[in-house]
Chains A and B, each alone.
Chain A
Amino acid sequence: MYKIEAKRSLAPHINLFDFSAREVATKTKPGQFVILRIDDDGERIPLTIANVDAEKGRISVACHEVGKTTTQLGRLKEGDSILDLLGPLGKPARIEKFGTVLCIGGGVMTAPLHFQAKAFREAGNNVIGIVGATTKDHLIFLDEMGKTCNELYVATDDGTEGYKGIDFLKDLMRERKIDRVVAEGPVLMMKAVSDLTRQHGIPTVVDLVPIMVDGMGMCGACRVTVGGKMLFACVDGLEFDGHQVDFDELLARLKMYTPQEKLAYVFWEEGEKIG
């Protein structure tokens, strides 16, 4: 059992959980993830690690309630426990001194991106941060990113806060010398960023979290096409060259269970009401 030591609301339906997992905390590096399972009927879901506290033996993950399992997790409170937590999984992100690193976080994934941004800063990089979300209310980790990055930009899809969309990136890339771009967020955002940086020839990595089951290379559910090759996100990633990823395939595969996910949610909600 893995106890929720702390829970903090970051935005509507987005929470940050601190789980007690001492060994995992001491081994985790930015860019790695855990697979968790809430109860014995539960599915296994991957969540990218957003922070560790090795002294207290805790890891943090941010979770956006989008379906049954994430909503079920969102309803758990401090002091509650989940049944399984496996990690750290995946390869650590490549953290080196590149020069100027542009760290772009979208939605809930801004939390794990911040973990990387911190490491890039510690490695001696000039870190430019961008926090994005669909709308103002969904922006998260603004304070943390503000403290960690040398500069911070904010963008929303609807323009309710900061820049509207990511077009401002064109100017930024023209005006500044950027050595590396790291994008972590919704697939469409990572795709748009990669398309832009390709034109400027800036090395860009993206963190892909496809549907997974075991998370250690057994099932191949998370297979992605990168540079024409079949790779498994769980063991070859999560970090991939954004200019080589087949994002459209990833989008299609992420929608594979949409009807079943709806059914699972309705069934679970009904069960919650009946008690």
Chain B
Amino acid sequence: MSTPKPKIRKEAVPMPKQTPEERARNFREVAVGYTEENALAEAERCLQCREAPCIKGCPVEVGIPEFIKLVRERRFKEAAKQIKEKNSLPAVCGRVCPQEEQCQAKCTVGKIGDPISIGRLERFAADWERQHGSAIPEKCPPTGKKVAVIGAGPAGLTVAADLIKLGHEVTIFEALHKPGGVLTYGIPEFRLPKKIVEAEAEYIEKLGVKLKTDVLIGRLYTIEELLRHFNAVFIGSGAGLPTFMGIPGENLCGIYSSNEFLIRVNLMRSYDFPRAGTPICGGEKVAVIGGGNVAMDAARCALRLGAKEVKIVYRRSREEMPARAEEIENAEEEGIVFEFLTSPLRLIGNERRTVKAIECIRMRLAEPDKSGRRRPVPIEGSNFVMDVDMVVMAIGRTPNPIIKQTTEGLKTAEWGGIVVDENGKTSIEAVYAGGDIVTGEATVISAMGAGRIAAKAIHELLMKK
């Protein structure tokens, strides 16, 4: 008689979180992270399948079963090291990657129960390492080649880390006063504490990357000037330009682009005003227009700044929302109200030109459009007025045009993105690009994946020369 195989627990170990009532009024991290016991129990569920479908779901191909095995063996430091071979920002990715659509979507255990919580385990290993002192990996001998990286966001940091390990000299030029790009100015403290982004950037500096903040490429130096001093250039300047709807009243006081609102709250720490010097209009009745992760972030920030009522106004229905399910749930638990199938027509101001209401119209869904989602169409006569004292427009971001305007011969698409080949190479020799500047607004990990591909191509180019 053969011994029966031990049964796998179908339920994932839940992530410890602050309660909704508690967290809705503070900026501390919502998910507190796995304890060692949590991590060991979750790692135990992994089948260690040989074909490792999870790796195929990861844009940077982290060796997932291997690191989970190391966690299981309580070799946490080695687990972190294993992840960092492929991913220079594991504490970030463990928190903000949409694992449910990537590695975890492919997990074999997912076929019989909850998939392994790969993201939570990645975060656990990275946090453990940060708290216990991170090791600096060995670098290849110096090649004498120099690379300029524009933008210290996910794509730029990845390119820099990959190339410095290969022995090249790397300088990152960041326009803002802090590194991290969208990780610093966009994603809120309660989802991604800034001390983690700082630690990840410090790690990259420890590898030997030179980081120059307050440098706007296109204004202080052009790409052409960079090419005189560097053997290759990588553009990872992101999708930094805000979008407005083009409806009447958008310049009223109290109306923010999601970028402005999040930059004030995250980069400038307006939630700590007046200790931090950057103010913000603290609305009591807030409407956030849009249905993506940025809209969820903005709504949850507004709540934490003290709003009494925060509404998400979205023109399609719940099913079409581009935000991660987890973020929608978090927002809902905290008391954010969703106005689905609703679209603003105009913004109405008071005598001081401050917004006081939005005229909206209800929508219904017609046949699918080009994006495959059902097209929203207005229901005639369904207009109504929503009282508000603050509005955040979170309807997408487009590439910043400064580099395009100041770089002759750089091919861009009609919508403003830089055109690259499958290796991230632009129309200019030795100039590469990746991340949101190429794809439009996407995820942190896809930008990192593009950075990885470009770094490989840049390395090949430099070694050929």
Tell whether A27 pairs with B400 under 8 Å between CB atoms, given A213-B268, A220-B259: no
Instruction: Answer whether residue B213 sits at the interface, using C-beta atoms and an 8 A cutoff.
Output: yes
Tell whether A263 pairs with B220 under 8 Å between CB atoms, given A43-B268, A217-B402: no
Instruction: Answer whether residue B378 sits at the interface, using C-beta atoms and an 8 A cutoff.
Output: no
CB distance from A166 to the nearest CB of B (A): 26
Residues of B near A213 (CB, < 8 A) are 260, 263-264, 268, 278
Residues of A near B176 (CB, < 8 A) are 214
CB distance from A47 to the nearest CB of B (A): 14
Instruction: Of the listed stretches A83-91, A119-127, A128-136, name the one at the interface; the rest are far from the partner chain.
Output: A83-91
Q: How far is the CA of A83 from the CA of B260 in the complex (A)?
A: 22
Q: How far is the CA of A44 from the CA of B215 in the complex (A)?
A: 15
Do B219 and A41 have beta carbons less than 8 Å apart? no
Can you name 14 extra interface pairs (CB under 8 A) apart from A220-B242, A223-B244, A223-B251? Answer: A24-B220, A27-B219, A84-B177, A85-B214, A86-B175, A87-B220, A216-B402, A217-B401, A218-B240, A218-B241, A218-B242, A225-B251, A260-B279, A264-B279
Residues of B near A219 (CB, < 8 A) are 242, 257, 259-260, 263-264
Q: How far is the CA of A89 from the CA of B354 in the complex (A)?
A: 29
Residues of B near A172 (CB, < 8 A) are none
Instruction: Answer whether residue A69 sits at the interface, using C-beta atoms and an 8 A cutoff.
Output: yes
Query: Interface residues of A: mostly helix, strand, loop or mixed?
Result: mixed
Residues of A near B274 (CB, < 8 A) are 260, 263-264, 267-268
Closest residue of chain A to B213 (Cβ to Cβ) is A84
Residues of A near B352 (CB, < 8 A) are 252, 255
Residues of A near B256 (CB, < 8 A) are 220-221
Instruction: Answer whether residue A195 sits at the interface, using C-beta atoms and an 8 A cutoff.
Output: no
CB under 8 Å from chain B, chain A span 195-214: 213-214
Residue-wise, chain B 256-300 has the 8 Å CB interface mask toward A (1 for contact) of 110110011000110001111111110000000000000000000
Residues of A near B278 (CB, < 8 A) are 43-44, 213
Instruction: Answer whether residue A235 sits at the interface, using C-beta atoms and an 8 A cutoff.
Output: yes
Residues of A near B268 (CB, < 8 A) are 43-44, 213
Cβ contact of A216, chosen from B175, B213, B221, B250, cutoff 8 A: B175
Instruction: Answer whether residue A13 sits at the interface, using C-beta atoms and an 8 A cutoff.
Output: no
Do B219 and A83 have beta carbons less than 8 Å apart? no
CB under 8 Å from chain B, chain A span 64-97: 68-69, 83-89
Do A249 and B251 have beta carbons less than 8 Å apart? yes
The size of the chain B interface, using a CB distance under 8 A, is 42
CB distance from A239 to the nearest CB of B (A): 16
Residues of A near B221 (CB, < 8 A) are 23
Instruction: Answer whether residue A42 sits at the interface, using C-beta atoms and an 8 A cutoff.
Output: yes
Tell whether A86 pairs with B177 under 8 Å between CB atoms, given A213-B260, A218-B242, A220-B260: yes
Do A218 and B259 have beta carbons less than 8 Å apart? yes
Residue-wise, chain A 32-64 has the 8 Å CB interface mask toward B (1 for contact) of 000001000111100000000000000000000
Instruction: Answer whether residue B227 sits at the interface, using C-beta atoms and an 8 A cutoff.
Output: no
Residue-wise, chain B 191-233 has the 8 Å CB interface mask toward A (1 for contact) of 0000000000000000000000111100111000000000000
Instruction: Answer whether residue B453 sits at the interface, using C-beta atoms and an 8 A cutoff.
Output: no
Instruction: Answer whether residue A274 sits at the interface, using C-beta atoms and an 8 A cutoff.
Output: no
Q: How large is the interface on A (under 10, 10 to 19, 20 to 34, 35 or more residues)?
A: 35 or more
CB distance from A83 to the nearest CB of B (A): 7
Q: How far is the CA of A87 from the CA of B221 in the complex (A)?
A: 10
A-B contacts, 28 listed (Cβ < 8 Å): A84-B177, A86-B175, A86-B216, A87-B216, A87-B219, A216-B216, A217-B240, A217-B400, A217-B401, A218-B242, A218-B259, A218-B260, A219-B242, A219-B263, A220-B259, A230-B250, A230-B251, A235-B401, A252-B353, A255-B253, A256-B281, A256-B354, A257-B279, A257-B281, A260-B281, A264-B273, A264-B274, A267-B275
Do A220 and B244 have beta carbons less than 8 Å apart? yes
Do B175 and A27 have beta carbons less than 8 Å apart? no
Closest residue of chain B to A213 (Cβ to Cβ) is B263
Tell whether A264 pairs with B263 under 8 Å between CB atoms, given A43-B268, A85-B214: no
CB distance from A22 to the nearest CB of B (A): 11
Tell whether A256 pairs with B263 under 8 Å between CB atoms, given A27-B219, A27-B220: no
Closest residue of chain B to A42 (Cβ to Cβ) is B277
Residues of B near A267 (CB, < 8 A) are 274-275
